[in-house]
Structure 1
Amino acid sequence: MKAGVVYPQVELGGDPGAVKAFAQAAEELGYDHIVIYDHVLGAVHAGREPKLTGPYKETDPFHEPLVTYAYLAGITRRLELVTGVIILPQRQTALFAKQAADVDLFSDGRLRLGVGVGWNWVEYDGLEMSGHFRRRGKRQEQQITLIRKLWEQPVVEHEDSDHRIDRAGILPRPKRQIPIWLGGFSEAAYERAARIGDGFLFSGRTQSEAVQIKARIEARLRALGRDVDAFGLESIQQYGRGDNRWPGDIAAWRDAGGSHISVATLGANLTTVDAHIEAIRRWREVYDSLG
């Protein structure tokens, strides 16, 4: 089971020096990957109809994941760079395919894309994608199909309800099919991941919930004739649960057959990058002690 860290964007206030220090410390501590969350626009929640249901507001800072990873590609050596999750349907598909290809090339094949559909309709409006919010799941499926074509084929001819590419392609292309994992909280997201994803990233779920959903995804994979062992499953663990809970959390996911686990130090009342680095050091010691 591979171990990673979640970059605590909200607590570290958009400090570029913190990004460098945290990522390099994670690599030195032996972590396999780093996860970065995504929001392009923070929105005021008050007075909205329909209401905004997610946790983040206009006061919460976020670095753009692919830009951040282009930077980290040059100052880390082996950390896998994971988007967890990037809101794909609010982005232009061909441009995203090109940007991801470059990050993967610059990092020597270290990008893993976690993608989701999001909850912030204000963000979709601001990115001129308002017409896609209500059908964002279907759009994401079509995007993944096209993105994979653009990575593989020198010239693409493709048309669906959202896209039309007439004998064109991106260059340079990545040297591989970059892994695309899905994330989300709905049955539609789990089913979609089983059909077209390379893995699934659990965030905001209890350990028991993640284990139960993992079993349902794997059952669907078998029904589709897909290789369960080739499908990745990652659980985000909360540092703030306390060191008396970490061993059980780690062991439960390992025993359930999870392929990846990450620790999130967000929400643990840590206000400096040094405090977050000390936190991931402590969690890593516990992880290593469990073998």
Structure 2
Amino acid sequence: MKRTKREEKLKIASVVLIASSLALVAGCANRNRRPASPPPAPNPLWSVPFAEKDFDKQEPSVVHAFLSPIDVDRDVEVGNVVYVDGVRTQTIETVVRVLKAVSVALEAGHMVSIESGKNIEMKTRKVGGEQLAGCVKTQGGGRYGEKLTSCLVDLDNDGQFDVAMFEKYERQYQLETKIPYVIEAVTAKSEANYGGVRKELIYGGASNGNLKLTYREFTADGMARQAFTQDLTYELDKQGRAEIGFRGLRMTVHSATNSQISYRVTRQMD
């Protein structure tokens, strides 16, 4: 049966309408679709062999010493302290002082940059023997600028660093030139312990064959305790010498004038 011209026109119009609708739906879908995020850049460190525990930290040493040392000759002028009762505790750290500036690029944008004369942390790398290392935090690096610990390593222990490494990765980065260094001990912390009350003797001079000292005690806030201030007088022999004893303290006086005393502490206070 032949279609009339009216039927043909209606058919063509329907096809055009359907095509237009499909195109409109597709366009809306494309506008609402978010662009695909680019894949994250691979971290080059992922390909570097991981080291579980190659570097050991150098533990600090703790030293205790009397505030007034035993058996040491000293000279003190009048008005100054000749004896303080107590102990000083010092924490000594061993560090590496770099004697030449170094700048080296590692993986993933990390840099090691150290000025000449700078002290850095000392560690020991225990791989095939002990190798001395000096370690610092890297500069820059990573997608988020994180800092990693890196170390300069003296592979043959000749007093010069040969390579740079990440502390936790095995890859080595050759330095352009060897970097000389020295090992130094520095005082990281120093504290005086007076046992709760500070006790001291002050030289008051000598006259008419007598030596004068003043004993004082201080509270925790540094205030002198009035009830614990005492003037002491000791007789000098013809050579200006004396043996002093006070609250367990023993002190040998070699000479004493109205301006200066020369002495040695031989025993601390009780």
Task: State the TM-score, normalized to the length of structure 1.
Answer: 0.19
Larger strand percent: 2
Return the TM-score normalized by structure 2.
Answer: 0.20
